[in-house]
Structure 1
């Protein structure tokens, strides 16, 4: 990794998901080290935080995972090894070492990745077909329980994929022609049977980005419009009610805005506009929407005024918290605070965005930044958060 780029983590660590070599919680920012990347002068370009595990992608397209592994979610098993319960340090996924991974996602108990050729891969829990593998059958043709996939394998081979997204029990991919496909357990669960082969989501054209929560889905069209479908128990679809939708519908209240980014947490959603402003909707418990003392759920998007005055570049949504990244590289967290998941040194739940300080010492082989770092990317998980930061003195952020 280049000396002016570091990977950060904070929050719950009971499954080793922080990647710092132990299972302790951290309520302030700590640094993750990946020797296989750093020692060859490379850097990490992307991180993803899941429910109980994490992953990172290097600039060379190598994938590293750490955390909980009982369902094979780390993808590091070989044909001669057995699954381990957890791994608290980043480990390379050697089954994908021969390809260049460009993007990845973590769902409930499964993971997805896509390489630079548009080929998608899946591993982990597969009880609903979310890894794309059909159930094994006995000789009498009766179904048996789907097996977990401990070694990454190809999925959706008929599609040329540019983005993958993973939900609690389903998978979603965006293809290069702007179409969205999905498989696994849909929502509502009784609407469509579990499927292992991709089915195209009807009614969506020219999609440029997808985001998936536990059981709901968002799609950002090239024109800046946002559509949603799936579970809607807390209004996370932004339709003004709590009726679930099996087909995409437009999110209300954003028609006069141009949205440039979207994010989906477990049961809440956010949108970022061209004016660098944040809108949030869905479950408001614990203050995860960022509306201060108002922790009620919102059926339609509302502007997060507590971030007014800050130029926001990205928002990431976790299970019960959110983190906003500003264009000048600062981080603001809000929502549930136990296990230290907000990262500002106190395990206090709050709906008021609080700044996360990056007080990390410079690497021993460099002195140019004097420990002053600015964030470039943030990824919220169930109870922990990851980020990538760089030296302010050496690199313009946005």
Structure 2
């Protein structure tokens, strides 16, 4: 049966990251009309830009482009309408990620591509230096190019200034500047993360990393100033360490925001840890402190969550029946519920957009009946959120 899907967006639009043809913010969900002709299967919201992947492997980008983050030389500083990345038209992109100001993508053959800022080698190319001062020179990669050519990759993830990939063998490799500038020397050649094998999923925040292994254990490394590694302290780790408090849980998904982390169990329960300011962990308005170890988000108990996405200062959770809950910082419309104040209490986001003009599953002359939009995937960015919704007849 044919279905009707749409991409929706809300939050800050100052860099065109909503893709709605203007740089205005939206406090309620709105349709990204430029993507209506396409069957979009995945969306990614970055700090100031966005991307969408179609069923046929087409990749669209929009938003901030001063560093070439949209995959083509910037004619303007921002672009508020999605456009296809022409350099990748001959490959079938299956997954992509947005970092601080660079992007990664992987095709159906396991080949990886990178573009955007590269001053720390995060695009896989050796950054240039000033011969006299030794300082790094800014060299942006305007057109997507191959990176990590020796690896066959199944997932890419991008941090503030570093890149991480998961190979089909279950190994994790990384390059770029993994910690804030000055802490660790950057590398432009992929280095395997030691101590990790049989990994099935990775997630990367600004400067911290998560890896979920096939045996259900969760490992973390990187910066830890807010407890985002879940180790019970705030000590950074250069090598993976086991995340505490999750033993015996059947984890199926993980997510990392700027400075916080989440894990999802098969039973639809959410665990959060790391920076708690603005209520981004979802523990309630009166509990905004950072958490050093994972704690269950009791306010989502019983909602049967199937996906959680972490942004800069807010988070969203999606239920099995297609509802969206948001929590965290509320300005710029981040929470999708009008001019709502910052809150740590998850509240449902109304998907109030018009029904599709034509419902493919309804034959001519039949009653279209009533229906509703149900979310299929959500993606949190720095100050905006994207989602794919599907029309479901009731």
- Shorter-chain TM-score: what band? over 0.9
**Contact 2:11 2:27 survives alignment (8 Å):** yes
Cα-to-partner distance string for 1:209-235 (whole Å, 9 max, x where unaligned): 000000000000011110000000000
Instruction: Report how far residue 26 of structure 1 moved.
Output: 0.5
Q: Secondary structure at the match of 2:281?
A: coil
Given candidates 76, 81, 88, the residue that maps to 1:96 is 88
Instruction: Report how far residue 98 of structure 1 moved.
Output: 0.5
RMSD over aligned Cα, in angstroms? 1.9
Match of 1:85 in 2: 77
Matches within 5 A, 1:322-341: 322-341=315-334
Match of 1:149 in 2: 141
Does residue 185 of the first structure (1) align with residue 177 of the second (2)?
yes
For 1:194 and 1:139, the matched residues in 2 are separated by 18
For 2:128 and 2:275, the matched residues in 1 are separated by 38
Match of 1:33 in 2: 33
Match of 1:110 in 2: 102
Match of 1:128 in 2: 120
Residues 139 and 28 of structure 1, relative CA distance in 2, 3 Å threshold: closer
Given candidates 41, 52, 59, the residue that maps to 1:56 is 52
Q: Secondary structure at the match of 1:372?
A: strand
Match of 1:46 in 2: 42
**Contact 1:360 1:371 survives alignment (8 Å):** no
Q: Secondary structure at the match of 2:393?
A: coil
For 1:192 and 1:138, the matched residues in 2 are separated by 19
Does residue 75 of the first structure (1) align with residue 71 of the second (2)?
yes
Q: Secondary structure at the match of 1:314?
A: strand
For 2:346 and 2:186, the matched residues in 1 are separated by 39
Q: How many residues align structurally?
A: 385
Cα-to-partner distance string for 1:36-56 (whole Å, 9 max, x where unaligned): x61xxx410000000000000
Match of 1:276 in 2: 268
Instruction: Report how far residue 138 of structure 1 moved.
Output: 8.2
User: Unpaired runs of 5+ in structure 1?
Assistant: none
**Contact 1:76 1:91 survives alignment (8 Å):** no
Q: Secondary structure at the match of 1:339?
A: helix
Q: Secondary structure at the match of 1:392?
A: strand
Matches within 5 A, 1:368-387: 368=368, 372-387=372-387
Q: Which runs of 4+ in 1 moved over 6 A?
A: 137-140
For 2:222 and 2:192, the matched residues in 1 are separated by 15
Instruction: Report how far residue 137 of structure 1 moved.
Output: 6.7
Cα-to-partner distance string for 1:252-299 (whole Å, 9 max, x where unaligned): 000121211000000000000121100000000000000002000000
Match of 1:195 in 2: 187
**Contact 1:188 1:230 survives alignment (8 Å):** no
For 2:281 and 2:130, the matched residues in 1 are separated by 48
**Contact 1:208 1:220 survives alignment (8 Å):** yes
Residues 370 and 22 of structure 1, relative CA distance in 2, 3 Å threshold: farther
**Contact 1:134 1:146 survives alignment (8 Å):** no
